[in-house]
Amino acid sequence: MIRKPSGYFLQLLFFAAILIYSCNKTDDGTPPALHISSPDDHDQFSVGDNIHVVGTVTHKFPVKSIKISLWDNFNVPVLNPLYVYPDDYGYNLDEMYPINDASLESGTYILMIAASDGHNTAKVYRTLYITGVQRYFERLLALVQPNTLKTIVYALDTAGNYQDVLELPHGYAGSEISSGQRQLYILKPEPSSMTAYSLDNIAEEYVYAASPPYAVFYDVYYNDQITYVSSGNGNITGLNSTGSTVYVTPQNTDTIPLLLHQHFDLLLSSCNRRGGPEKFIRQHFAGTGVFRAGLNVDFSGAGFFSVDEGSALILGNMTDESSIFVYDVHNNYLADKTDMPPGLIRDAVQISAGNYLISHDAGIYHYIHESKSLYELIPGVEVDAMAYDYTRLLLYYAEGAKISVYMMENAEIIDEITLPYPVLKLHIQYNN
């Protein structure tokens, strides 16, 4: 009989373990092979069409998911994504992706197709031109507060004429607008509620009340057919156009979300610790509400803007200073910072891809993200509210009760309107 060496069976077990591990391994750093034959770059579509997405995906590991989504030129998703779950080593992609948002304006968009094995992702991009229903300016809505017990909404036309369209017997805690859903959303202070008003006749369409134990809403934010409200209970709720709940994050009474922003598949929030000085940026998945990550920061969020899928700008205020932070969303850290002059940020608007106007204690500044450059656009103004009409390239900004209309192309003020009371917020209403 041949006697095996004493370590022989241990070696067999070792190599068997390697073989089993290799057979079960699902991540070697290689993404799937994704090939798209339709659509082609620069194909043209119209609102109401379907984009026929055809291609193949192959991989040495099972392909878990394929995602199709459409972005605007601000790198912000404009349509709900379409998902396919092959769970196979090869898949022939053949899907119709509907362009079903009547509020899409004519212009260039990016179609993104991504295939993932759960660890590694391959992406293919197509630049498309979509003809939309022509969008045009209807009116400017200015929310004012004569006193703590009254809020008024004024509507201003292109000639600078204004009229009172809504008077509310309560104070003001926040507002948002959706021209596509034809709704204006206004937050009532504690005990809070959020009321949706029709933009067509300013009639009340639904009321969503805050729940105890902390019955207060801090922010209202609209994106992609969902209106989000952040609660003193630490959770965020999303409502559809009829006021039905379609999204919710878990309650977290230790942390209060004060400012909201949807960044692709994530919902970001700037938060404060309840009863403490700590501040955070938190991430929840936009589809499920499940918490993803949190980051401790030393500033309060004054604005969010998406740059691309992996990064966002966060405008932050400290005690008496402010900065523009580049936030690496995927890896959850602050990658860069541009300091503002001494003072605090009050408001901000995006005027084009990578270009932002920031209202600051020292004036209005223009920030260009590509070069990380900041320069003073309108000095010596103390502006609490701004709104940008990108169809006519006009900036509306409010100093107290005075609203100035600034033409970006000529860098001049073309009109000034003075309302009876100081302005709290400005919203532009379009036809869709």
Q: Which domains can be identified in the chain, with CATH numbers?
A: 33-131 (2.60.40.10)
Quote the pLDDT of residue 422.
96
Cis bond upstream, residue 191 (ω within 30): yes
Report the alpha-carbon distance of residue 346 to residue 360 in Å, rounded: 5
| Closest alpha carbon to 370 in 358, 354, 357, 350 | 354
SS3 content of the chain, % helix, strand, coil (to 5): 5, 60, 35
Region 411-432 average pLDDT: 96
Whose CA is closest to 51, among 107, 105, 111? 111
Residue 47 in tokens: 């609102």
> 323: which residues sit within 8 A by CB, 6+ positions away?
299, 315, 316, 337, 338, 339, 340
Q: How far apart are CA 421 and CA 424, in angstroms?
A: 9
Q: Is the pLDDT score of 1 beyond 60?
A: no
| pLDDT one-digit tens code per residue, 223-266 | 988 999 999 999 999 999 999 999 999 988 889 999 999 998 89
State the pLDDT confidence band at 8, using cuts at 50, 70 and 90: low
Confidence check: pLDDT of 39 > 80? yes
Between CA 395 and CA 388 the distance in angstroms is 5
Non-local CB neighbours of 425 within 8 Å, separated by 6+ positions: 142, 143, 172, 174, 175, 385
The rounded radius of gyration (Å) of the Cα atoms in the chain is 25
Cβ-count burial 365-379 (b if 16+ within 10 Å, e if not): bbbebeeeebeebbe
Per the structure block, which two tokens stand in for 277? Answer: 């000085």
- Kindly report, residue by residue over 346-404, the tens digit of the pLDDT: 999 999 999 999 999 999 999 999 999 999 999 999 999 999 999 999 999 999 999 99
- Nearest in space to 387 (alpha carbons), one of 421, 344, 423: 423
Count the Cβ atoms, other than its own, within 10 Å of residue 398.
26
Q: pLDDT (tens digit, 9 = 90+) per residue, 389-406?
A: 999 999 999 999 999 999
Tokens of 243: 């006021």
Which of 97, 166, 107, 159 lies closest to 132, judged by CA?
Answer: 107
Residue 341, C-beta contacts closer than 8 angstroms, at least 6 positions apart? 360, 362
